Structure 1
């Protein structure tokens, strides 16, 4: 089963949540973007939320439902 992946990324003076090339929403604060990203990810499990810093680096990742450990292979 394919995992849905969401990213919280900087967007000018604000933040946005993306799923692939689609913008799920834009927000004034990073905190609100993370909250919205979590809601979207929980609503479309199995999923992953990747939160980026203001310079675009990965800060943290959250995985929801069905992340196999250890990975196959």
Structure 2
């Protein structure tokens, strides 16, 4: 199954969504970027992709925030 990964990354005092090395945004808050990334990942999942949304932590590591088929859509909150 093809994969689709959407990474929420900090960009100065804003946030971007990184998809395959290309940044989209900017977003004024992490939650706004996350909302758009999950919406896009949901569409990719429906289209047959193994879709995940990752968030970059302060130490540079990524954590999985949302996974198609595992986490509820729309997410709570």
TM-score of the aligned structures, taking structure 2 as reference length:
0.71
More off after superposition, 7-16 vs 18-27: 18-27
CA offsets 1:17-41 (integer angstroms, 9 cap, x no match): 0111122322011111111111111
- State the 1:59 CA deviation: 3.7
* Equivalent pair of 1:41/1:49 in contact (CA under 8 Å): yes
Aligned length in residues: 66
Report which of the two structures shows the higher radius of gyration computed on alpha carbons: 1
Structure 2: gaps spanning 5 or more residues? 71-77
Structure 1: gaps spanning 5 or more residues? 67-73
CA distance change for structure 1 residues 42 and 18 in 2, over 3 Å: closer, same or farther?
same
Structure 1 residue aligned with 2:73: none
TM-score of the aligned structures, taking structure 1 as reference length:
0.74
From 65, 68, 73, the counterpart of 1:61: 65
Structure 2 CA distance for aligned equivalents of residues 21 and 43 of structure 1: 20
What is the RMSD computed on CA atoms of the aligned residues? 1.9
